[in-house]
Amino acid sequence: MDLATLWFILIVVLWTGYLVLEGFDFGVGMLMRPLGRDNTDRRLAINTIGPIWDGNEVWLITAVGATFAAFPHWYATLLSGFYVPLLLILVALILRGVSFEYRHKVDTPRWREGWDRCIEIGSWVPAFLWGVIFANLVRGVEIDGDMQYVGGLPAIVDPFALLGGVVTLSLFLTHGAVFLALKTAGEYQQRAMTLAARLAVPSAVVTLVWLLWAQLAHSRNTWTWIPVAVVAACLVGVVRATRVRREGWAFVFNAVAVALVVVVVFGAIFPAVMPAVDPANSLTIANASASPYSLTIMSWVALFLVPVVLLYQGWTFKVFSKRLRREQIPPQPSELAAAAGGTQTP
């Protein structure tokens, strides 16, 4: 295995880690208001991801940075060709991060409601658009002989790409609901698990339809049928586990399904990194990679830093592994005042 192929695999691993971890973050953000009957419920949901959501986004930064260093032509064509959806994702992620920090700055229902809506928007937009972008990679895009994307924005939006967006959206919604059930206790946990059971079936159906479409119409490798079959088994496992209220197994099954969908996406295009409608213009591992010297230096750096990052993030999850309850969320001053006055704040 040459270094370019090794870095392609490492980038796939980075995208897998990002979408598995950030997937439940997006799910929590999308479900925070639908599951939250009052401010305490919404604060409970935010607290489940509060210590880890920004760390999960490091996987995205690392994946993009590794693409820039290892495959500069891929980086340039991808980010320029998908400029509009990537810009929307960036704005949504910034809005979401700011909302987490600003939500508690003013103790009024109207202030909190506005930032809660921003958290929702900042979760729904990337959850959908990541699927659209990856579906375009599987289908192939219009690239000319100079490695420039020439398709324009309308070429990005077609039924296959839109269905890909629905796939990531539905998987992340289920992921978030199961995560909330895994991280909370009491009546809120029961509501989260009930919602996860309702989401699991449509998520499984949409995902399997898109995977079959991708395999039959666009996949360039037959071995990807193996992860497709495992994804199908995992999604059945999610449906079963949510119905019997085994949130731990449901989370594992859904996480594996998300990870293997990423494997299918990149496995379907291998050895290309960005397939073109005209195969002669495709960006491949060979023609899009950096020099062997650059890849060698990067490999030594990754050899020492990647284990450190994995150990640190694993330690973080262990430290914040306990379940949360409504009773552990202290009331805010306005809620105490309302309770003393015999009224109730939303």
DSSP 2-60: -HHHHHHHHHHHHHHHHHHHHHHHHHHHHHHHHH-SSHHHHHHHHHHHTTTHHHHTHHH
pLDDT of residue 36: 86
Sign of the four-CA dihedral 4, 6, 7, 13: positive
In this predicted structure, the answer to whether residue 156 has a pLDDT above a threshold of 80 is: yes
* Domain layout of the chain by residue ranges: 7-292
pLDDT greater at residue 309 or residue 342: 309
In this predicted structure, the answer to whether residue 346 has a pLDDT above a threshold of 60 is: no
Taking only the tens place, the pLDDT of each residue in 112-145 is 999 999 999 999 999 999 999 999 999 999 998 8
Work out the pLDDT band at 146, boundaries 50, 70, 90. Answer: confident
pLDDT greater at residue 148 or residue 203: 203
What mean pLDDT is reported for the chain?
Answer: 91
Least confident span in 34-43, 210-219, 256-265, 332-341: 332-341
Residue 272 β-bridge partners:
284
Work out the pLDDT band at 175, boundaries 50, 70, 90. Answer: very high
**Which residues, 6 or more positions from 314, have their beta carbon under 8 angstroms from its beta carbon?**
none
CB 20 within 8 A of CB 33: no
pLDDT of residue 342: 56
pLDDT greater at residue 333 or residue 226: 226
Phi-psi region of 140 (alpha: psi -120 to 50; beta: other; left: phi over 0): left
Taking only the tens place, the pLDDT of each residue in 45-100 is 999 998 888 888 889 999 999 999 999 999 999 999 999 999 999 999 999 999 99
CA pair distance 236, 213, nearest whole angstrom:
19
pLDDT greater at residue 145 or residue 264: 264
pLDDT of residue 201: 96
Segment 299-328 shows an average pLDDT of: 85
Segment 198-218 shows an average pLDDT of: 96
Find, among 127, 88, 80, the residue nearest to 283 by Cα. Answer: 80
What is the three-class DSSP state of 204?
helix
In this predicted structure, the answer to whether residue 242 has a pLDDT above a threshold of 70 is: yes
Helix (H) or strand (E) holding 273: strand 272-274
**Which residues, 6 or more positions from 125, have their beta carbon under 8 angstroms from its beta carbon?**
88, 89, 92
What is the three-class DSSP state of 95?
helix
In this predicted structure, the answer to whether residue 345 has a pLDDT above a threshold of 60 is: no
The DSSP call for residue 140 is -
The DSSP call for residue 155 is G
The pTM is what? 0.92
In this predicted structure, the answer to whether residue 31 has a pLDDT above a threshold of 90 is: yes
CB 82 within 8 A of CB 133: yes
Least confident span in 10-19, 141-150, 217-226: 141-150
Question: Considering the chain, what percentage of its residues have pLDDT values greater than 90?
Answer: 70
pLDDT of residue 149: 87
CA pair distance 125, 33, nearest whole angstrom:
16
Question: Considering the chain, what percentage of its residues have pLDDT values greater than 70?
Answer: 97
pLDDT of residue 30: 95
- For residues 200, 204, 205, 211, the Cα torsion angle rounded to the nearest 10 degrees is 160
Structure tokens at 34: 């639908």
pLDDT of residue 327: 84
CA pair distance 295, 288, nearest whole angstrom:
12
Helix (H) or strand (E) holding 284: strand 283-284
The CATH code of domain 7-292 reads: 1.20.1630
CB 16 within 8 A of CB 262: yes
